Structure 1
Amino acid sequence: MIIIGAGLGGLALAHGLRERGVDVTVHERDARPGARPQGYRIQLDEPGLTALRQCLPAELFGLCLATAGAPPARVSVRNRHLEVLADRATGRTADPTAGFEAAGVGPRAFDRPTLRRIMLLGLGDRVHHGAQLASYRHEDDGRVTACFADGRTATGDLIVGADGVNSTVRRLLLPAARVEDAGLRLVYGRIPLDGRARAALPGWAFESIFTVVTDGPGKAHLGLGPVEFATRPDLAGRARTPALDLPPAHDYLACMVGAPADHPAMPAPADLRTLPPAALRELALRLLGDGWHEDVHRLLARWDTASLFPLRISTSAPVPPWEPGPVTLIGDAIHAMSPVLAMGANTAVRDAAELSRALADATGPGPGLARAVGVYESRMRDYAFPIVADSRRTGQQRVGQR
């Protein structure tokens, strides 16, 4: 099997297939892990945690949990004066027909780079970096060949596009599928919590797994999510037998300032992408303007300027059923969604578990493989696109998403 993309969904799928004895290679366009900013904090609720446990070897799943934080399992929404507008328990119940077993843990906050490094462990030379997919072709024997920009090729029974919002696989497989601009822009970064920093910050920022402070739809908003490691990653890795090599990482608050794309202070997308971190900080402060509670200004005063980067939020349109075959899609490559419900990573990892299970008994190219892919694609459309729609509705109500 050939997986295009070494994000969370692609790596979970690689492990899930290998656990079932399937030979798999992963091809990632980036030259190395961490070559470009992709975010800091990842939240996994029960569907994602259960799917991750189904995909990963037990040792790696244990290491993931050992390094995850467990903030209070609530999502809070406040206005700019910090008055509570909404406060609810988070977490979705797994679909009882899906065969998911309860993971036995509540929602967790992960450091995305640490989670990816853990998921790369055990895959070794099965992950190839610097491999930008250019095209694929169907072979006479029913297999499919991936053709990369540098001239390399790889042939297998199945190609899985796990290559994100700008998926090349999706463009080739489903050229009519649409990924739309959600009309939101974010400046994303971290507030370090080393030393006495945590004690100096307002307590309400740590009372929920995620907090949104909003000035109302169509205006600016602030998002905060604590990432406090149960065990520092390098120490957790060294405590394993045999020891596993993970770099150190330190606690932080993921902090983002967002606004609609048509906000008067928001630059055009091409200009936003070129802004250096200091200019992004100035932009975020302009977006918020005056009249916000002093706690918000205390938080932003501790924002790590060097950590800042811009994000454009996208969302996918529902895709009618297509004929299953030796090419398929998982994660943002097929169902990109805005982050307001924190379900993007959960759904991508669930895709990996669903596809791994569907492929377990399908060996070799032909009708059996196509049937297995079709089973996965049907299930995926049934659970993923309603979440995309829920994310859109919530984003429209809460932060002015299109």
Structure 2
Amino acid sequence: MHQHRVIIAGAGLGGLTLAHGLRARGFDVAVYERDPHPDARSQGYRVQLDEPGLAGLERCLPEHLFRLGLATAASPPARVSVRDRHLGTLADRPTAPGPDPAGGTARPYRPYRSYAFNRPTLRQILLSGLADTVRYGAELLSWEREQDGTVTARFADGRSASADLLVGADGVGSVVRRQLLPHARVEDAGLRLIYGRIPLDALDAPDAPDAPDAPDAPDTGVGGAGGAEAAALPPWVFDSIFTVVTGGPGSPHVGFGPVRFARPPGAAGPAHTPPVPLTPVGDYVACLVGAPADHPAMPSFEALRGLDGPALRELAGRLVGDDWHPDVHRLLDRWETDSLFPLRISTASPVPPWEPGPVTLLGDAIHAMSPVLAMGANTAIRDAAELTRTLAGAAASGAPLVDGVRDYELRMREYAFSVVAASRRTGRQRVGQS
């Protein structure tokens, strides 16, 4: 029986999830990542996963890694709050469960609820077991279809690789997409963010007690450390998985997402069976300040990228005016300046159906979206689960692999671009997205 070979361009959350899913189903998988090593650049901080992402992880990851992911995540109250600049409540809703990514009945490890993951920790978990699969320092330059139906990828260092399928999981600036769908448009959403964190405690103490390594261990979302630091913050910060404080459409906004680990990653990883080395990280609140790109106080993105941490915090203070609630200013005063970096938000336009072949796309490479609904990572991981299912089904039936690609692309365009549209609508209503 032919072992199908798949090349994945990009070692982000979606690409790594797909690698696990396909390897578990007998595919020969190679992931090519342009970064020279896994810690070459900042991977950001908090990422929220709801049912689409959690179900996708469960379907693709080895069970022990899924367990470790949940054990090292935080589960603040599963509500999203929107407040005005005086902290009056504008909206307060539960995080709604999404549909099962494989189109059938979900088989939850336990009932899915929203979790806040530390993105670098989750990525370390996803890299576990893939040491022989991920190739670093491999910047994709181009690809071409061969006469025998395979595809060859070519890299900047002179390497090339051939496979039955190339999956572009290479983000907003996707090289794979530019060649496959040159007409696909990714637009500037007209939003600029300053993103960072408010630390709540020191790193894990080496003698911190270990909790039971089980997915149903008591999980309050409140870590054991950092009590004094957390107590110094306004209680409303911890009442929701994410809180948006908005000045209104076209005005700046501020977002807060608490990450208080059920188990500190630095202790949980080595204690796991089998052990998984995880970098120690303390509890924190992810914090962002955003504004429309045309706000009078917002410099060009090129200038924004040139600002250091103190300058970014000073800019954020000018964006959030004196008439905002004092709690907001007190929180920004606690921002860790070394953690700050700017972001330009992009959003994709819907793409008409294209002829399926030995190349496809997932995640931001095809459906970049603004972060207002926290669905970017969820949808990328959902893509990985859906593509795993359709490719495995085609391989098991002896059908051409392109049949699985066709089924995946049909479903992905339907669910993903509806989320892109919803994110755009909500972004226009809440935070002045264009």
Shorter-chain TM-score bucket reads: over 0.9
Matched, 1:384 2:416: yes
Matched, 1:239 2:271: yes
Cα deviation per residue 1:219-246 (whole Å; 9 max; x = unaligned)?
1100000111110112111222232211
Distance 2:394 2:161 in 1: 20
TM-score between the two structures when normalised by the length of structure 2: 0.90
The alignment partner of 2:55 has SS state of helix
Quote the offset at 1:91 in angstroms.
2.6
1:312 is matched with which residue? 344
* Contact 1:143 1:158 survives alignment (8 Å): yes
1:73 is matched with which residue? 78
| Structure 1 counterpart of 2:184, from 163, 177, 180 | 177
1:263 is matched with which residue? 295
Q: How does 1:1-400 map to 2 (within 5 A)?
A: 1-95=6-100, 98-103=103-108, 104-194=111-201, 195=226, 196-363=228-395, 368-400=400-432
Distance 2:247 2:191 in 1: 14
Distance 1:113 1:95 in 2: 25
State the one-letter code of the partner of 1:191.
I
The alignment partner of 1:188 has SS state of strand
Quote the offset at 1:297 in angstroms.
1.1
Distance 2:393 2:122 in 1: 29
Of 313-322 and 135-144, deviating more is 135-144
Distance 1:207 1:234 in 2: 26
Of 175-184 and 24-33, deviating more is 24-33
* Contact 2:64 2:273 survives alignment (8 Å): no
State the one-letter code of the partner of 1:6.
A
The alignment partner of 1:78 has SS state of strand
Cα deviation per residue 1:173-230 (whole Å; 9 max; x = unaligned)?
0000000000000000000011421110000000000000000011110000011111
* Contact 1:37 1:309 survives alignment (8 Å): no
* Contact 1:178 1:316 survives alignment (8 Å): yes
Quote the offset at 1:31 in angstroms.
1.4
Report percent identity of matched pairs. 68
Of 229-238 and 380-389, deviating more is 229-238
Distance 1:97 1:192 in 2: 37
User: Alpha carbon RMSD of aligned pairs, Å?
Assistant: 1.4
Against the structure 1 CA distance between its residues 308 and 96, is the aligned structure 2 distance closer, same or farther, given a 3 Å change threshold? closer
* Contact 1:190 1:304 survives alignment (8 Å): yes
The alignment partner of 1:362 has SS state of helix
Distance 1:49 1:96 in 2: 10
Distance 1:382 1:59 in 2: 32
The alignment partner of 1:281 has SS state of helix
Distance 1:274 1:172 in 2: 31
* Contact 1:4 1:160 survives alignment (8 Å): yes
Distance 2:65 2:179 in 1: 34
* Contact 1:29 1:132 survives alignment (8 Å): yes
State the one-letter code of the partner of 1:167.
S
Cα deviation per residue 1:246-267 (whole Å; 9 max; x = unaligned)?
1111110000000000000000
State the one-letter code of the partner of 2:366.
I
Cα deviation per residue 1:269-291 (whole Å; 9 max; x = unaligned)?
11111111111111111111211
* Contact 2:241 2:258 survives alignment (8 Å): yes
Distance 2:196 2:57 in 1: 26
* Contact 2:97 2:112 survives alignment (8 Å): no
* Contact 1:47 1:100 survives alignment (8 Å): no
Distance 1:96 1:202 in 2: 37
* Contact 1:46 1:102 survives alignment (8 Å): no
* Contact 1:326 1:370 survives alignment (8 Å): yes
State the one-letter code of the partner of 1:48.
G
State the one-letter code of the partner of 1:183.
G
State the one-letter code of the partner of 1:88.
R
TM-score between the two structures when normalised by the length of structure 1: 0.97
Against the structure 1 CA distance between its residues 38 and 245, is the aligned structure 2 distance closer, same or farther, given a 3 Å change threshold? closer
Quote the offset at 1:346 in angstroms.
0.6
Of 225-234 and 308-317, deviating more is 225-234
State the one-letter code of the partner of 1:237.
G
Quote the offset at 1:34 in angstroms.
3.1
Cα deviation per residue 1:304-335 (whole Å; 9 max; x = unaligned)?
00000000000000000000000000000000
Distance 1:309 1:102 in 2: 38
Structure 2: segments with no counterpart, 5+ residues = 1-5, 202-225
Quote the offset at 1:39 in angstroms.
1.9
* Contact 2:71 2:263 survives alignment (8 Å): yes
> Which aligned segments of 4 or more residues in structure 1 are displaced greater than 6 angstroms?
none
Distance 1:369 1:10 in 2: 18
Cα deviation per residue 1:133-189 (whole Å; 9 max; x = unaligned)?
000111222111110011011111000000011111100100000000000000000
Distance 2:101 2:431 in 1: 32
